[in-house]
Structure 1
Amino acid sequence: MYQPVLPGLPIASRREVLSQFWSIDSLANGRSNIFEDDVYFDYFEAQCRLARQYDHPEIRICTQRNICDIVCRLKAGEGRETIKASLSLKSNSMDENEEFLNNVIDLTVRLWLMVHVGNVQRGVTGQTALSWREGCLKDCVAAHFQHQRVLTDLVKFEKVFNARNIERIAGVTIRWTPNLVDHLKFIEDGKKPVLNIFHYAAFLNYHRDGDFFPSGFIDETLRTLKLLLPTHDRDSRKWFQKQQTKLKLDPTAINCGQLKLEERQIDHFNFWHDRLVVLKQFFDDSSPRTIKQWWFDDRKRVQWFWVAILLVVLTILFGFIQCIEGGWQIWKAYHP
């Protein structure tokens, strides 16, 4: 009997996923509510429901057993064709149904790496797909997530540069994405610019001790969350908690910490270097277009100080003029 992946994944199945995917023994944690706030498994179940719609109607391929087996084979460096051949033998010679085999392999990659592969039309539209049709998946991932240091602009990330202010001051829509490929992708070609942020911090921590992603990639991605969602910034925390309640985001994203002064330099970022440079340039060049944006914009405190001084002087001047005008009118009233 096959074991289909069902909605409401049982705790035992979740523990097996952690063990097979990342060699994590959740029982050693000693917490009964270890999965209570883990939105990764919400993503896991949603992806499985979607994949089952395209599964073989008679011989189910999208099972947890097959998914865990594919992860082991991907870790061993097996290519797509080798994995398909193995699945075909296990599924009573399904060579004529290659589409179903590709479906479960693509599903496994999305679950294990949270990287969108496969036909975008089957998933949530608007996500960028990583093209992997042959060869070792690890080499494909390394080729995509490599150092991006084409832009040479020197930028410094002030404390005001965070996701909350990017939305409120620069008028950027924050889109929370489950696709690691789209993290920090900035889209400016629509009516309103959009910034994609990958918020699954717990998932990133699962991969910290692994070696499938390029060395340093996971830690740097977590640092981008520290930059955009600083833990000790009260306003950022309140803003994120509202987003988290409404959209069911990973609550640990706001608990990653925050960067020290020396860590807020662009030279400390390699994989996300160019995307951060583009985003920071847009933030610095953006001018408030609404009264609300003007009110929240405190990037140029010196200018605001002189504007305030000017307003005070003008207020006193106009008040003085009104006093003189009022006195003149009273004098004219008694001396027509």
Structure 2
Amino acid sequence: MLEMTALTAGSTEPISQTTWLRTLQTGYGKPDSQLDSYILALERKLEVFSENQHIIRTFRQLLELVEVVKQNGTEPRAEIGRLAVNLCTSRQWLPRSDINRLPTTLIDIVYNSIDFAIEILLLHRFNTTGESRPPGEHDFKWEKEDNIIVARRAILPQQDDSLDSKIFDHTFTLRDFQEFGDFVIQPTDNILEHLLMQKHKKRPNRITLLVFFHVSAMERIHDWNETLRPSQPGGRRSFIDSDFIEETLQTVSLILPYNDLESIEWFKRYYQKFQRTLPRRFRSLSGIDPRAGQLPVASRQAVDYNYWLPRLLELEKEFLNYSPRTLRQFLRDRRRYRDWTLYWVGLVALVLTLISSLTGVASAIVGGLALKDDKNDTNLVTAACCCRDEVALTNVVTTASIAPASVPVVTLEPAQAIDPTRTLVVTVRVTTTVTMTGA
């Protein structure tokens, strides 16, 4: 997929004692920066490369085996294995004693090297035996009687149900998966793991979503694959569907839409965070292909997906079934917009009802307190005016020498007493006559 023929084809340097980055720079200078993430993927593959589990030892042998796979990719796995044995025998890659046992007891190491070549060429990782694997890595079978296309279709079966009206919601994005679904977004170097979900044993509600971000590498594979289309009958045939590559890129655009500003901002933060996890010697390279956030906007109609539709539907199901576990997730959850709208309308109505009820209660309390104060004032007047015997109340007339003579006369009449045997409350009307004369 890379310009591998530009490498030093005669290099005899052992694969297990070098790095891809060093080899590529030696061969033809610094690689295209858009392929940084692919170079790092190759570095990770070297970490699990075990020489005693392969028939290849050097980069030259690897390139020759890759060429065999490219020339015969449409052949069954068993046929490619036979061709690899012939190549190993003719080039004497192994001691004679081991070569004689390749077709029988050592056939597994032949297939290991074929799988390794496929992984380098197409980023498809099948069931390579004898190599250490990261925890939880899936094991994908490639049967001897199948070619690569058939093996891929067995791993990615098509969706039979008719989903003409199915449309993926605008919240079907990596950002929403992580922020509202509490998903762990994890890059993968194996395209066969794309959109797979893993659940933790101790935390079954915490889902890890594997995403294949090697967009630039897939675009290079697509361009190379187009050159393999036969121009005439009997010509060289392609062993990877262009439709498969295009749909893979489309799924990346679907869950990382370029026209969604929040998703792009999330991807920038995710990219920067991932960069900090890289070993220091590789931090000058892009750990995740930035091209993943620059793809054309993809269709949200399910009918436009074939290879990846079952995984997309399963992913949507898990996302919709997730229940928010934090207040932030609860307040910003937009997965079911209609239900979300009805919920908040009902909540607002409930709050307004509570406010109205509290206002009514407060008004009743204030009114009761005011009535109590009014009764207290009435009791004071009543206490001052109540008596058990009839009493004649006579007002004292005071003459103020300083008052003007022209002040009008005010007459205060004696109070009218009520029979105390009939009531304890006496209403008194007092009329007082005040005469003011000048000095």
TM-score range, shorter chain: 0.7 to 0.9
SS in 2 for 1:122: coil
Rate the CA distance shift 1:127–1:115 in 2: closer, same or farther, 3 A.
Answer: farther
Residues of 2 paired with 1:14 and 1:136: CA distance?
37
Moved more, 145-154 or 270-279: 145-154
Greater length-normalized contact order (CA 8 Å, ≥ 6 residues apart): 1
Residues of 2 paired with 1:318 and 1:56: CA distance?
80
Give the superposition deviation at 1:42. 0.3
2:70 corresponds to which of 63, 67, 75: 75
- Cross-structure match for 1:226: 253
Rate the CA distance shift 1:230–1:14 in 2: closer, same or farther, 3 A.
Answer: farther
Give the superposition deviation at 1:132. 2.8
Residues of 2 paired with 1:49 and 1:88: CA distance?
27
Question: What is the TM-score when the length of structure 1 is the normalising length?
Answer: 0.80
Residues of 1 paired with 2:121 and 2:241: CA distance?
15
Residues of 2 paired with 1:326 and 1:37: CA distance?
74
* Alignment RMSD: 3.1
1:278 equivalent in alignment to 2:314:
yes
Residues of 2 paired with 1:216 and 1:307: CA distance?
47
SS in 2 for 1:208: helix
Offset from partner CA, 1:161-199 (integer Å, 9 cap, x none): 111112222333323222111111234574123322212
Moved more, 205-214 or 130-139: 130-139
SS in 1 for 2:306: coil
Residues of 2 paired with 1:240 and 1:254: CA distance?
7
Give the superposition deviation at 1:304. 4.4
Letter of the structure 2 residue corresponding to residue 149 of structure 1: Q
Q: How does 1:28-177 map to 2 (within 5 A)?
A: 34-35=32-33, 38-51=36-49, 54-56=50-52, 61-77=56-72, 79-90=80-91, 91=93, 92-93=95-96, 94-95=98-99, 96=101, 98=106, 100-117=109-126, 118-119=128-129, 122-132=132-142, 134-135=144-145, 137-144=147-154, 148-152=158-162, 155-177=166-188
8 Å contact kept, 2:142–2:148 = no
Residues of 2 paired with 1:271 and 1:159: CA distance?
21
Higher Rg: 2
8 Å contact kept, 2:124–2:191 = yes
Residues of 2 paired with 1:139 and 1:258: CA distance?
27
SS in 2 for 1:73: helix
Give the superposition deviation at 1:309. 3.0
Report sequence identity in percent: 21
Rate the CA distance shift 1:148–1:140 in 2: closer, same or farther, 3 A.
Answer: closer
1:293 corresponds to which of 329, 332, 351: 329
Rate the CA distance shift 1:333–1:276 in 2: closer, same or farther, 3 A.
Answer: same
Offset from partner CA, 1:255-310 (integer Å, 9 cap, x none): 11322xxx211100011111112222333343334322212212324224413532
Rate the CA distance shift 1:256–1:145 in 2: closer, same or farther, 3 A.
Answer: farther
Residues of 2 paired with 1:14 and 1:206: CA distance?
21
In the alignment of these two chains, the number of paired residues is 316
SS in 2 for 1:39: helix
Rate the CA distance shift 1:48–1:156 in 2: closer, same or farther, 3 A.
Answer: same
Question: What is the TM-score when the length of structure 2 is the normalising length?
Answer: 0.63
Moved more, 144-153 or 222-231: 144-153
Residues of 2 paired with 1:285 and 1:36: CA distance?
37
For structure 1, the 5+ residue unaligned runs are: 17-26
Offset from partner CA, 1:69-127 (integer Å, 9 cap, x none): 11211122151232133124321433257355444332222221212221285222322
Q: How does 1:134-283 map to 2 (within 5 A)?
A: 134-135=144-145, 137-144=147-154, 148-152=158-162, 155-187=166-198, 190=201, 191=204, 192-209=206-223, 210=225, 211-247=238-274, 248-259=287-298, 263-283=299-319
- Cross-structure match for 1:331: 370
